[in-house]
């Protein structure tokens, strides 16, 4: 069925809900429904831009991500106590291994690193062999195996006989492999479920006309995708309570059972999904492009025959890998378009260079800030429950930002484009760490244990953990601006053939944050936590300045490229729009 046929159907009948497979750009051009028409440049400049309705298939993927994150945060929530404290020690926080804060923070950073290194493997397997859907299913099975290992080795007899630590390490490796294969593919898959690419005008029930913009729809999809992640993250409230009041093995059994449900839900939705087939891994092909481009560029330079573009400027060294230039004198396994797409992907990856510093800040929440809460009066709740303030804030704030704050800025002509949003997120993360440093200073100045609170059999100082709340609120706000936008940017700026690999590179920046965390291991304990938080804050603040200086022009360039690449109708009927609408 052609796009013209669909347009005719939509004009002659009521709106129809067609299967997503039929609407995917690989199968069919964009289409119109009743009450819609293609947008013109005049429409884009005069009418209010809005996001479209999110398709049902996308909600299935979002629900799957919710279940996976429920499992992930449910098992990682108790990790710091599980590793740091001894088993059934009187008048102490819950524990199992008794390895101390250094080992707890080190293993936590290792797990974070591993979980965000493996997405590269998941992306390669999806692109080369299985496709996103099958890759997610296969790695989900691996994930379940890891969950079972963790649950079985956390039973009391295993802990008492020394099985907890080796079991934890094996489970971390297995779960990290599973989550890597899922994360690199579920994020681009959720956005792929929306198959409309051209902007169009829709008439609302009140007669107002608006432009439905794919860019805003994708932004909204990732906002709700991240919202589901943080709803799932609340599982740590349940598991830390179970850990404190029952034991660790039922705390780990709950998220294990949830993940089984996750796999079932995901598979049940398979008939609704836009499922893209593997197109071949671009990693090896990209490597060959780089080698060919550099070799041909050096040869052209040595022979004084560099090529100029239409503006009289020297072309990029990557352009020398294009088959159209035929500098190699033979056929290659790529096209000119692939070289251009690869350059676009590399440009988007540059924006990710400062993200390891952001994740260094974020990871403090699951290790050193948990230990900080252990030095304070938490009342009748476990110290590691405090980190759940972050997802609670995100759950409340994302709908506010998505429905009110971001549209409000657009209404007054101050649209917050990606680089601007990321810069704000980085700055707020730096402020969160500065607050944590100041708070730690007051913890150390408070009796009765001062800078030894929470060490060994020591209890807490007489200072309420409630004053940690502003730090978690700031971290939540920074995530909405930096983390959500990073996911969105990685997807939007990556060419169709490279979305999984670019997404995996974005996720790898989290592994970079964990590597940086290892560098702070020597000061990730009393009495050095003030220096730890202060240095992290300073690095993030400096990184924010560098990021803005280097990439501030990207927002304007992206807007120009979007306008250039968008297909508009030449003329449109009178829209009947006023500036007050």
Q: Which residue has the higher pLDDT, 360 or 45?
A: 360
Q: Quick check: 19 pLDDT over 60?
A: no
Q: Quick check: 210 pLDDT over 90?
A: yes
- Average pLDDT on 344-367 reads 90
- pLDDT for position 567: 66
- pLDDT for position 261: 87
- pLDDT for position 327: 61
| Tens-place pLDDT, residues 21-44 | 333 343 345 788 888 999 998 888
What does the mean pLDDT of the chain come to? 85
Residues 6+ apart with CB under 8 A from 81: 93, 94, 95, 104, 240, 243, 370, 382, 383, 384
Q: How confident is the model at residue 444 (pLDDT cuts 50, 70, 90)?
A: very high
Q: Which of 4-13, 62-71, 150-159, 510-519 has the least mean pLDDT?
A: 4-13
Boundaries of every domain in the chain:
3-50, 56-279+342-565, 282-334
- Average pLDDT on 95-101 reads 90
- pLDDT for position 504: 86
| Tens-place pLDDT, residues 379-436 | 888 888 888 899 999 999 999 999 899 999 988 888 899 999 999 999 999 999 999 9
Please state the three-class secondary structure of 245-300 as a single string: HCCHHHHHHHHHHHHHHHHHHHHHCCCCCCCCCCCCCHHHHHHHHHHHHHHHHHHH
In order of 206, 372, 505, 529, 534, the CA distances from 439 in angstroms are 52, 9, 34, 10, 11
Q: Quick check: 527 pLDDT over 60?
A: yes
Superfamily classification of domain 56-279+342-565:
MFS general substrate transporter like domains (1.20.1250.20)
d(CA 462, CA 69): 34
Calculate ∠ Cα 448-454-455, nearest 5°. Answer: 105
Q: Quick check: 555 pLDDT over 80?
A: yes
Helix (H, G, I), strand (E, B) or coil at 398: helix
């Amino acid at each position: 069925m052609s796009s013209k046929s669909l347009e005719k159907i939509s004009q002659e009948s009521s709106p129809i809900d067609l299967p997503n497979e039929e609407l995917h750009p690989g199968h069919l051009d964009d289409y119109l429904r009743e009450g819609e028409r293609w947008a013109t440049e005049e429409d884009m400049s005069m009418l209010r831009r809005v996001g479209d309705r999110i398709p049902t298939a996308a909600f299935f993927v979002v629900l799957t991500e919710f279940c996976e994150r429920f499992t992930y945060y449910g098992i990682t929530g108790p990790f710091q106590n599980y590793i740091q404290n001894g088993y059934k020690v009187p008048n102490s926080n819950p524990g199992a291994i008794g390895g101390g804060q250094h080992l707890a923070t080190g293993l936590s950073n290792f797990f974070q690193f591993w979980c965000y290194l493996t997405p590269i493997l998941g992306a390669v397997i999806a692109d080369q062999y299985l496709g996103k859907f099958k890759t997610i299913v296969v790695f989900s099975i691996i994930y379940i195996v890891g969950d079972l290992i963790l649950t079985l080795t956390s039973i009391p007899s295993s802990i008492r006989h020394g099985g907890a630590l080796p079991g934890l390490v094996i489970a971390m490796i297995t779960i990290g492999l599973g989550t890597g294969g899922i994360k690199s593919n579920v994020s681009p898959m959720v956005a792929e479920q929306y198959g409309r690419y051209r902007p169009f005008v829709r008439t609302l029930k009140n007669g107002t006309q608006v432009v439905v913009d794919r860019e805003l729809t994708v932004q909204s999809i990732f906002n709700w995708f991240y919202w589901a992640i943080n709803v799932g993250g609340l599982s740590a409230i349940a598991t830390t309570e179970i850990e404190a009041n029952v034991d660790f093995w039922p705390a780990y059994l709950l998220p294990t059972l949830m993940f089984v449900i996750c796999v079932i839900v995901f598979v049940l939705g398979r008939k609704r999904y836009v499922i893209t087939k593997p197109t071949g891994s671009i990693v090896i092909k990209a490597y060959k492009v780089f080698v060919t481009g550099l070799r041909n560029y050096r040869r052209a330079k040595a022979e004084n025959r560099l090529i100029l573009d239409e503006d009289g400027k020297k072309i990029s060294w990557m352009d020398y890998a294009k088959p159209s230039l035929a500098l190699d004198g033979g056929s290659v396994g790529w096209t000119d378009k692939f070289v251009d797409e690869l350059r676009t992907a590399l440009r988007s990856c540059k924006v990710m260079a400062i993200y390891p510093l952001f994740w260094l800040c974020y990871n403090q929440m699951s290790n050193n800030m948990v230990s900080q809460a252990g030095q304070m009066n938490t009342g009748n709740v476990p110290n590691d429950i405090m980190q759940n303030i972050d997802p609670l804030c995100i759950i409340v704030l994302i709908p506010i930002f998505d429905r009110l704050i971001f549209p409000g800025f657009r209404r007054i002509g101050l649209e917050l484009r990606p680089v601007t949003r990321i810069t704000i997120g980085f700055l707020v993360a730096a402020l969160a760490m500065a607050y944590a440093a100041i708070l730690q200073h007051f913890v150390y100045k408070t009796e009765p244990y001062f800078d030894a609170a929470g060490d060994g059999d020591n209890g807490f100082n007489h200072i309420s953990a409630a004053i940690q709340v502003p730090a978690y609120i700031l971290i939540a706000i920074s995530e909405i601006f930096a983390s959500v936008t990073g996911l969105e940017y990685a997807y939007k700026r990556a060419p169709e053939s490279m979305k999984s690999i670019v997404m995996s590179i974005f996720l790898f920046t989290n592994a970079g944050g964990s590597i940086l965390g290892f560098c702070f291991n020597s000061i990730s304990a009393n009495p050095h936590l003030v220096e730890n938080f202060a240095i992290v804050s300073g690095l993030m603040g400096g990184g924010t300045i560098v990021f803005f200086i280097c990439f501030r022009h990207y927002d304007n360039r992206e807007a120009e490229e979007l306008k250039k690449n968008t297909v508009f109708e030449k003329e449109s009927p009178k829209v009947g729009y006023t500036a007050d609408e």
